[in-house]
Amino acid sequence: LQKLIHLLQATDDPLIQEQALITLSNSAAFSVNQDIIRSLDGLSVIGGMLSDCVPKVKEKALNALNNLSMNIKNQEKIQVYITQVCRIVESAPLNSDVQLAGLRLLTNMSVTNDYHQKMINSIPCFLHLLSEGTERTQIQVFQVLVNLSANPAITRHLLRAQV
């Protein structure tokens, strides 16, 4: 895991980055690896890949963070990327793999009320995706919105959102 994280930092080759992110994502299926990746500062390395202009690299970084977000301690570190992930979802091509990967991560990050405030500004986007997206996109958006709607502090923002 340490070598994969170093490899991500050392290379500019999108194919290598993509494969390293896939491997880290698969490794994150095991809770012990989630802790190791966090302890090696892998979350910030992977989070740094969200700025990559190559869509496949961005998608794989979102997928890796999504798998790593199944851990509460990791969520505390990943939450710093929520605003950026919301922007990615808003700017990605409609129904794209990048958009879906971002929505999956937001779904996991919205399971608890802890980070809902960071998603408020994206509610109009979510509602737009609900009306314009394919069924796959709509399902992901519904999951985020259901999680947000469970928080009474968000109700006002949901009801006032301009669509």
The answer to whether residues 63 and 29 touch, using CB atoms and an 8 Å cutoff, is no
54-93 pLDDT tens trace: 999 999 999 999 999 999 999 999 999 999 999 999 999 9
Are 124 and 60 found together in one domain? no
Answer yes or no: is pLDDT of 162 > 90: no
Are 70 and 86 found together in one domain? no
With bands split at pLDDT 50, 70 and 90, how would you rate the model's confidence at 161? confident
- List of E strands, 13-162: none
| Structure token pair of residue 126 | 């979510």
What pLDDT, on the 0 to 100 scale, is given for residue 52? 87
Q: How many other C-beta atoms lie within 10 A of the C-beta of residue 155?
A: 12
Are 27 and 66 found together in one domain? yes
With bands split at pLDDT 50, 70 and 90, how would you rate the model's confidence at 23? very high
Looking at 41, 60, 78, which one is the last position of a domain? 78
Are 106 and 132 found together in one domain? yes
- Cα-trace Rg, the chain: 16
User: What is the chain's mean pLDDT, rounded?
Assistant: 96
Query: Between these two residues, 43 and 155, which has the higher pLDDT value?
Result: 43
Quote the number of domains for the chain: 2
Selection from 100, 109, 18 nearest residue 68 by Cα: 109
Are 61 and 47 found together in one domain? yes
Looking at 26, 46, 78, which one is the last position of a domain? 78
Looking at 32, 49, 78, which one is the last position of a domain? 78
Are 152 and 85 found together in one domain? yes
pTM for the full predicted model:
0.95
Determine the Cα–Cα distance for residues 98 and 49; give it in Å rounded to an integer: 13
Question: Which of 13-17, 80-84, 113-117, 153-157 shows the lowest mean pLDDT across its residues?
Answer: 153-157
